[in-house]
């Protein structure tokens, strides 16, 4: 399978679902929570561009 055959919308949806399943440290007043974010950085960037997650770039991101 080459890159042009990958349905990035489905990948994004799956990663968003996995992030939901790994939510922790929820802060009710602010409406924020933390999630395990060891996912493909390109996918996280797309989710951030769609404003579905906060900025995923941090100290652990080797591509930042």
List pLDDT tens digits, range 32-56. 666 766 788 899 899 999 999 888 7
Tell me the per-residue pLDDT of 5-27, one tens digit each, with 9 for 90 and over: 889 999 999 999 988 888 777 66
Q: Do residues 35 and 22 make contact, with C-beta atoms less than 8 angstroms apart?
A: yes
Q: Is the pLDDT of residue 59 over 80?
A: no
Q: Taking CA 58 as the corner, what is the angle to CA 63 and CA 17, rounded to the nearest 5 degrees?
A: 90
Q: Give the count of beta carbons closer than 10 Å to the beta carbon of residue 15.
A: 19
14 neighbors 39 (Cβ within 8 angstroms):
no
As given in the structure block, the two tokens for residue 64 are 């930042």
Please give the Cα distance from 11 to 39 (Å, whole number).
11
């Amino acid at each position: 399978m080459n890159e042009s055959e990958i349905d990035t919308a489905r990948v994004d949806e799956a990663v968003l679902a996995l992030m939901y399943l790994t939510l922790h440290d929820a802060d009710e007043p602010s409406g924020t929570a933390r999630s395990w974010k060891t996912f493909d950085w390109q996918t996280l960037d797309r989710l951030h561009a769609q404003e579905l997650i906060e900025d995923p770039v941090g100290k652990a991101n080797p591509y930042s």
